[in-house]
Amino acid sequence: FDPKHPQHTTHALRKRKIRHIPVLCGWPIPRRDLNEQADKYAVAILALFRPWNLSVGPTLKPDNVSWSDALSDLLLTLPPHHLKVINHMQEQWECKLAADDFSAQRRK
C-alpha cells in the first residue's frame, strides 16, 4: 500500500506465484449479448480488468467516453489470457441458458 493509505501499516499486497480464479460474490457479471445490459457489462469488465486507483487519477473511463468505447479500448490492450477469461464469463451464461432450456424440455 501507499504510505498515505490508512491500511499501510496493517495490510500488505503480494503477488501470488500460482494463478487462481477469484470467486465473485453478489450479482453475476452481466451478459454481453444483451443490449440492455451493455453498459453494466462494460462497467463490470472495466472494474475487473482495468487498473484503477481513485486517489491517483482517472477512474474507469474519461467523462467524454462512453462505457462501450472504454471497454473497446481496453479489449485492444489486454493480453490473450485475460481475453480468454472474459470469453469464459460469457460461456458460463450460455451454459446456464442451455441447461435451463434442457430442463424445461424434459419437463414437457
To the nearest whole percent, how much of the chain has pLDDT over 90? 26
Query: What confidence category does residue 18 fall into, taking pLDDT thresholds of 50, 70 and 90?
Result: confident
Using the predicted structure, report yes or no on whether residue 56 has a pLDDT greater than 70. no
pLDDT value of residue 1: 63
The C-alpha atoms of residue 39 and residue 71 are separated, in whole angstroms, by 9
Task: Give the burial class of 61: count Cβ atoms within 10 A of its Cβ; 0-12 exposed, 13-18 middle, 19 or more buried.
Answer: buried
Its pTM stands at 0.68
